[in-house]
Chain A
Amino acid sequence: MNDDRVVFDRRDFLKLVGIGVAGVTAGCAKPPAEKLIPYLVAPEDVLPGVPYFYASTCRECPAGCGLIVRTREGRAIKLEGNPAHPLNQGGLCARGQAGLQGLYDPDRIKTPLVKDGANWKAATWDEALALVGGKIAAARTKTVLLTGLETGTMRALAGEFGSSVGAKHVMWEPFGYEALRAANRATFGIDAVPRFDVGAARCLIAFGADLLETFLSPVGQARGFAQMRAQRDDGGGHFVTVEPRLSTTGANADEWVAAKPGTEFAGVRTKSRRSPTCRRKRSRGSRASSPSARRASRWRAASPPRARTAPRSPPRSTC
C-alpha cells in the first residue's frame, strides 16, 4: 500500500484512537451516584453499623452446639461457638461455620413448590396453605407431619400442631442416629442421642465412630479428646479405633484395628486384652458387678443376634 493512499499514518491512527479510548474511560469511569436509603421508621434498638449478637443453637447436625450469631442491620453475618455452652465451649466445626452458606444460598428454595407431574412448580404461600389444608381435611387421621430434627419448644409446637390435625409427628435426621437412640432406649430407657464424656475416659475404644469428624458432636468430642490425651503422663488416655477405613480419627488413635464393615464388635475381647491401659482398668473392678457392665450386658442381650456372631476373619491389629 502506498503512503499517499492512507488517510492517517500508523502513528496518527494510534494517537486518535488513544484519545478516544481515554475520553470514553474518563467519561464512564465514575460510577453513577450511589444512594443512601434510610429507614422509613427507625427501629429503636437497631443502629446501622453496630453489630448485634444473638445466642442460638446450630442445627447443621443433631449435636446442637451453642452459637453466637453476629447480625448487622437484621442480617446474620457470622456464626461462632458460644463459650458458655457446655457442649462446644466456644468451638464450632466447619459444618457449623458454613451454616450461613445455607441461609444465603442463591439456589435455596424460596417459595413452596407443588409437584406437577415430574416437575416442581412454584406456588404462593396462600395457594400452598389452601392445598395442604384441603388435603389434611380430606385425609383426617391418615396424616403424618414430617419435619427436620426439632427439639424443645419447636418439637412441642410441631407435636401440638400434629395432634390438633390428627397427624403423627415424624422427624427426619440426615445423620440418622436411630440406632444410637434405640440402644440408649434399651440400655437407659431414655429416648435421646447420648453425649459421651470423652474427656473423663481413661481408655477409649471407638467402633466405627469417627468422633473427631462427624460422629455426634465432633467439636465437643475433640475438646474431650484433648482432655483425655492430657492424662497420658500417668498412663491414661489410650485410644483404640476399630473401623473399616483409616479415618482422621483412626489416624489419631494409638491403635487402629481394621475390621470389615459390620464386624467391628467382634474384635472387642481380643483388643482390650492387648491394650495395657484397658486391661489394667478392667482387671481392677469386678466386671459383673459394675453398673456399666450390667448395662452393657443388657444392651448385648437386647441387640439383634447378628452383632454377636463371630466374624469370618478375625480383625488384625496394625501395631
Chain B
Amino acid sequence: MTKLVAVMIVCCTLVAASVALSQSFNVRMGETKGPVQPVNFSHKIHAGTNQMDCKYCHYGAANSVWANIPAVSTCMGCHKFVATDKPEIVKLTGYADRGEQVPWVKVHYLPDHVKFNHKRHVRAGFACQECHGPVQDMDRVYQYSSLKMGWCVSCHRKNLTNAEYPATMDCLVCHH
C-alpha cells in the first residue's frame, strides 16, 4: 500500500512537471525574440524603411509615464488607403470594421514594484533605441534590454553628473 502511494506521488509530480514544462516551452523559447502579435506589425517597415518618427504613433512617450499603444484609429489613418490588400492589413481593417481593439501582446515587463516614466527620459534627450534597442530593424519586437535594476542603475550612475539632466540614485525614484 505504502509502495503504491509512493509510486503514485512520484509519478504524479513528474507527469505534472513534464506537462507544465512542455506546455510553456514554446511560449518561453518563442518569446526570446518577442511574442507573436495578433497582427504581424513590422517596426522594420514603419520605423526602418519608411523612417516614421516613433512619436507619430507612440505620441505619449514625451508627455506621459507610458509610451502609449496607438489606437486602432491611428493605424487606420494611413491604412484606409495604404497597402489595403495585404493580408495583415485586411486583418487590421477587420478589427476596425468590427469596432474591436487589437489585443497586442505586452513585450516589455517591469516588476510590479518599480515604475518607469517615459516622459522624463524622452525629454532628457534619450533616444528610444537606447533602451528598446534597434526597433527599426525588428520585424517582431522583443525585449532588447534586461530592464533589471543593475541595468537601470548603471545608466543612472553614468549620468549623475549630467549638466542639464542629472540622474538620481534615490530609491524612490523608481521604487514605489
Contacts and interface: CB of A to CB of B under 8 A. Distances in A.
Contacts of A261: none
Given A26-B20, A50-B64, A39 B6 contact: no
Contacts of A5: 3
Given A20-B13, A42-B73, A27 B20 contact: yes
- Is the interface on chain A under 10, 10 to 19, 20 to 34, or 35 or more residues? 20 to 34
Contacts of B106: 33-36
The B contact surface, by secondary structure, is helix
> Which interface residue of B10, B59, B96, B101 has the most chain A CB atoms within 10 A?
B10
Contacts of B14: 16, 19-20, 23
Contacts of B32: none
Interface in B92-113: 96, 99-106
B102 A38 contact: yes
A42 B99 CA distance: 13
Interface stretch (B21-29, B125-133, B159-167): B21-29
A48 B60 contact: yes
B26 to A, nearest CB: 12
A13 B6 contact: yes
- Is the interface on chain B under 10, 10 to 19, 20 to 34, or 35 or more residues? 35 or more
Contact of A48 (B2, B10, B68, B96): B68
A21 interface: yes
A8 B66 CA distance: 55
B153 to A, nearest CB: 24
A47 B63 contact: yes
A271 B108 CA distance: 71
B65 interface: yes
Interface string A1-44: 10001111000010011011111101110100111111111100
Given A33-B106, A41-B73, A24 B16 contact: yes
A30 B24 contact: yes
Given A7-B3, A34-B105, A37-B103, A17 B19 contact: no
A27 B3 contact: no
A174 interface: no
Interface in B61-77: 63-66, 68-74
Contacts of A36: 69, 103-106
Contacts of B74: 42
Given A17-B9, A36-B69, A36-B104, A22 B64 contact: no
Nearest to B18: A23
B17 interface: yes
Nearest to A18: B13
A47 B64 contact: yes
A40 B73 contact: yes
A7 B3 CA distance: 7
A102 interface: no
B86 to A, nearest CB: 20
CB-CB nearest 7 A-B residue pairs: A27-B20, A23-B17, A20-B13, A49-B64, A42-B71, A39-B71, A49-B66
Interface of B: 2-3, 6-7, 9-10, 12-14, 16-24, 27-28, 31, 35, 59-60, 63-66, 68-74, 96, 99-106
6 contacts: A7-B3, A17-B13, A19-B14, A37-B101, A39-B101, A47-B68
Given A7-B6, A49-B68, 11 more contacts: A20-B14, A20-B17, A23-B20, A23-B21, A30-B27, A30-B28, A36-B103, A36-B104, A36-B106, A39-B101, A50-B65
